[in-house]
Chain A
C-alpha cells in the first residue's frame, strides 16, 4: 500500500524496573532513545520527527507530556506528536511513525513509548481517582473465566504461560521480573488477585521506555528489519452481542496485516510473535483471535509447548508483558522485539533464522488493536 518502504534501523529500550528513580521522566525516554539512535548509527540531529506514546496522562499526573519532553528529545524546530490509544498505544504509536515514513512526509522518525508508573498510581489513575478501581485485571478476569469455560482448557494452562514467559525473561537483560526456578505449582500456590488470575499470572508495574528509529529505503542500513504491514482497529467497548473474549476488532486487525504481508497461514508462515499478554490466559485467547489456532484450540498449543522458545511458534521469547510492563511502552516493546528477532539481534533469546515476526498490542476493553509484520527482507 505504501509509496515508501519502511525500515527499522534502530531499536533501544531501558532496563525496566519497578522504580527507575535514578532517572527523570525525560531521562527515561532518553535512555531508550539514545540506545535506538546508537543502534541506527545516528545522532539526535539526524531525526526529522518524533512520535511519542503513553497511556493516560493521569498515570503520572502530567498533561500532554510532549510539551515538556520537547527539549530533552531534541525537538526544538522539529515536529513532535503524542499518540494515546490505551494499552495498544505503544503499537499504534509505531504505526503512526511508520505512516509518517511510508507516506513520504518524513524520512527519519524516532518513536518512543514509555511509562513511569512509579511516579503515580496506575490503579488510581484507571479509576479517574474517583474510586479504588478494580484495576485492569479485575476488568479482564471475567473474560478469561469465560474463555476457560468455553474452551474447556485445564486450569494449569494459565500458570504454564506464566512460567514460560518468566523463564524467557531470564534470557533478556532488559526484563523487569527475574523469577528463578518458577514452576506451575508455585504459580498455582500464589493467591488469586482476580479469579482466575493469580498474582504470579499478572504483569508487574514497571518504569520503562522503548524506542525505534524508522527510515525510508534511502536511509536504511544493512541488517534492518522491513515493515511488511501495519494495521489498527477500534470497536465500541460495550454493547449486547459483542464478544470481548474473541473480539472482532482483533480478528479484523490480524486479517488486514496478514493480507498486506501476504500471509495466508499465520501458524506456518510466522517465525516468532510478540503478543500483548498482561495476564496469562491472554496467550491462548490471542492465539485464537490472531488466527494462530482455531477457536477453542489456543490452549492446546500452550500445553504442547508449541509456544516455548524451542517450539514451532515461539511466543513472547522476550518475557513479554508478564515480565515487563511499562504500559505505554509495552506495545512498542512487542513491535521492537520482533524487529530485533528478524534482524538477528535478540541475543540470548534469539530464535535462529527468524525471518518473519508479528508484533501485537491491545487496549481498552479489548477494543483497540495494533499490529505489524516485519521481515528481514524488503517488501
Chain B
C-alpha cells in the first residue's frame, strides 16, 4: 500500500449546541483552518469526500449545501457518504492509494440540536420489524449494558452540533506539509448484524476484526480515542481491540463524532504527544458498525 498520512485536523469548538449557523457555515471555518495549518489552499486538493445526514438536516441533499464550503469551482473530484465522517476519511485513504492524487480532504457536519435524536435514530432501524417499536438509542444502550453485566445508563451523552475536517497526503507530499505526519499504519471497518437478537451484545465482533485488520495489536498504543457513548461501550471496545485504556465521547455530535475521535488520534501523533495512536468510529445500534484507524509517527 502507498504511505498515506493525516497531516491536518480541525474540529469545531467542542460541545456546541443550539447553533444558529447552517452546516455549511460550521464547515467553512474548519476547512479553512485545516488547510491554513499546513499552508495549502483548496486548489491543492485532488480529491474530496464529504459526509452528512439528510435526517439531521431535515431536508434531502444535505451534502449539496455543504459542497459550498469546498468552493467547488472549477469542478472538483468529490464524493459523499451518508455515514460518519470517519468513513469519508476511509474513502479518501482508498482514493490516495492510486498514485494520481497526493492530497485529499475529508469532512463531515451534523447539527443535532434541531432534531429529536431519539426519534431520528429510530428511523435508522429495520423499517419492518424494529422501527415500528420506536426503539431509541438509550434503550439499546441499556440493553447492551445488561449484556455485559454493567449498570444500565440513564442518560446518553449530549447530542451536540459540530463540523470537522481532515487533510490526508501521500508519501513525500505528506513529509513536505508537516514535520510529523500521522501515517495510517492500518485502517479497516466492519459491521455486525443489525438485529440485536442475532448477535452476542456483550462483544463486538466487527470491532475486533476491524482492529485486527488495522493492526492495533502489532505494537503498543500510546493513546486511543473511541466512539464510546457509555462506560460499557468502552469496555466492549477495549476488549475487542485489546486496549487497556481509551477516551470515550464526552458529547456526541452525530456524523462527526467518529471523525473527531479519529482526527484527534491522528493529531496526537502530529503534535508529538503520541508515537502510535488509535481512532475509532461507530454507527448503528449497540456498536453495530465499527471503523478502526492506527496512526504512527
Contacts and interface: CB of A to CB of B under 8 A. Distances in A.
Contact of A126 (B60, B81, B97, B283): B60
A351 B289 CA distance: 43
A79 B77 contact: no
Interface stretch (B118-126, B147-155, B216-224, B269-277): B118-126
A179 interface: no
B120 A63 contact: yes
A77 B54 contact: no
B18 interface: no
A58 interface: yes
A76 B289 CA distance: 9
Interface string B82-110: 11000100110011011110000000000
A2 B75 CA distance: 22
A100 B68 CA distance: 27
Given A99-B94, A102-B98, A77 B205 contact: yes
A79 B193 contact: no
Interface stretch (B36-44, B183-191, B237-245): B183-191
Most buried by A among B72, B82, B126, B195: B82
A24 B81 contact: no
B131 to A, nearest CB: 8
Contacts of A79: 188-191
Contacts of B128: 24
Interface in A229-279: 231-237, 239, 242, 247-249, 252-253
B157 interface: no
Contacts of B87: 81
Interface string B274-297: 000000000111001100000000
A60 B126 CA distance: 12
A103 interface: yes
Interface stretch (A84-92, A140-148, A213-221, A341-349): A84-92
Nearest to A119: B127
Interface string A73-117: 001111111111110000010011001101111000000000000
Contacts of B98: 1-3, 99, 102-103
A135 to B, nearest CB: 13
B230 interface: no
B19 interface: no
Given A64-B283, A77-B190, A233-B77, A103 B94 contact: yes
Given A99-B95, A236-B73, A56 B127 contact: no
Contact of A71 (B72, B75, B193): B193
A346 B74 CA distance: 37
Contacts of A60: 127
Given A1-B99, A61-B127, A105-B94, A235 B73 contact: yes
B53 interface: yes
A68 interface: yes
A82 B82 contact: yes
Contacts of A104: 1, 97
A249 B74 CA distance: 8
A241 to B, nearest CB: 10
A364 B66 CA distance: 13
Of the listed residues A64, A126, A236, the one surrounded by the most CB atoms of chain B closer than 10 A to its CB is A64
Residues of A in contact with B, size category: 35 or more
Interface in A117-172: 119, 125-126, 128, 130
B124 A67 contact: yes
Given A62-B124, A64-B283, A96-B79, A70 B94 contact: no
B289 A70 contact: yes
A57 interface: yes
Most-contacted residue by chain A among B81, B130, B189, B285 (CB, 10 A): B81
B283 A67 contact: yes
A25 interface: yes
B206 A77 contact: yes
Given A61-B127, A83-B80, A70 B1 contact: no
B291 to A, nearest CB: 9
Nearest to B188: A79
B198 to A, nearest CB: 7
B136 interface: no
B288 A57 contact: no
B68 to A, nearest CB: 6
Contacts of A83: 79-82
B284 A67 contact: yes
Interface string B58-79: 1111011001100111111111
A233 B76 contact: yes
A242 B12 CA distance: 31
B194 interface: yes
A248 B127 CA distance: 40
Contacts of A63: 53-55, 120-121, 123-124
18 contacts: A56-B54, A63-B55, A63-B124, A64-B124, A67-B194, A67-B288, A70-B191, A78-B191, A81-B90, A84-B81, A95-B79, A99-B94, A232-B77, A232-B79, A233-B77, A235-B73, A236-B71, A252-B74
Interface of B: 1, 48, 53-55, 58-61, 63-64, 67-68, 71-83, 87, 90-91, 94-95, 97-100, 120-121, 123-128, 130-131, 188-195, 198-199, 205-206, 209, 283-285, 288-289
Interface of A: 1-3, 24-25, 55-64, 66-71, 75-86, 92, 95-96, 99-100, 102-105, 119, 125-126, 128, 130, 231-237, 239, 242, 247-249, 252-253, 364-365, 367, 369
Query: Which 9 pairs from chain A and chain B are nearest by CB?
Result: A56-B60, A128-B59, A103-B97, A249-B75, A234-B78, A235-B75, A63-B55, A84-B82, A67-B284
